[in-house]
Chain A
Amino acid sequence: AQSVTQLGSHVSVSEGALVLLRCNYSSSVPPYLFWYVQYPNQGLQLLLKYTTGATLVKGINGFEAEFKKSETSFHLTKPSAHMSDAAEYFCAVSDSGSARQLTFGSGTQLTVLP
């Protein structure tokens, strides 16, 4: 069984400040890890994913995440927040191999203050 925990349902940062959204997972097999962003009344857009290889993954819009197996974490960061980053962010895990379904975290609402 797999699970995802996102610490902090709401995160507020000032424009230009560092964004850090936390995600911890549990998985009995090597995981595939994802971060998605959702704007109001829209579907999910993939920000980045980790499958294998380099543990620091760069995604779109300046976001990146680092897979740390020892900490079972996959935290999402962005050096400088922009107003357009305000949205809901979901971390998700999938099993490897014949990956079939995603298990999502509960989501983190990011607010960017002017």
Chain B
Amino acid sequence: GAVVSQHPSRVICKSGTSVKIECRSLDFQATTMFWYRQFPKKSLMLMATSNEGSKATYEQGVEKDKFLINHASLTLSTLTVTSAHPEDSSFYICSARGGHSNTEAFFGQGTRLTVV
């Protein structure tokens, strides 16, 4: 299957700083990328959908100014958590759809963000 690489896998940052998480499709062109947040013992909550070259579509309740998403190329999307606070600590997962299969999304390994 296609490979999606997410980096970093773990990050610890201080309150008030910003953190960037990268999501790369390694062997296919991702026309659409999705960003999810997963709370402990909970399911995945879709935060936003991004299409290459256009603005991301955010789900209701997700602050677009806090969670900046950029999908600058067909192989890279980034999520920047701005002015992070402890309540932003979570597991963030990206997925990408595209290539020969438009019915399957391929997931990154996830990023564990801890804000101290």
Residue ranges of A at the interface with B (Cβ–Cβ < 8 Å)? 32, 34, 36, 41-46, 49, 51, 90, 94, 98-102, 104-107, 109
Contact = CB atoms under 8 A, between A and B. Distances in A.
Interface stretch (B61-69, B74-82, B98-106): B98-106
Residue among B42, B46, B105 facing the most chain A CB atoms (10 A cut-off): B105
Contacts, number: 53
Interface of B: 1, 4, 6, 9, 32, 34, 41-44, 46, 49, 91, 93, 95, 97, 102-110, 112
B107 A44 contact: yes
B85 to A, nearest CB: 22
Contacts of A34: 104
A46 B104 contact: yes
Contacts of B46: 101-102
B32 A43 contact: no
Contacts of A44: 44, 93, 95, 107
Residue among A43, A44, A46, A90 facing the most chain B CB atoms (10 A cut-off): A43
Contacts of A104: 43-44
Contacts of B105: 102
B107 A94 contact: no
Contacts of B112: 41
Contact of B110 (A42, A102, A109): A42
11 contacts: A41-B9, A41-B91, A43-B6, A43-B93, A45-B107, A90-B44, A94-B103, A100-B97, A102-B46, A102-B95, A107-B43
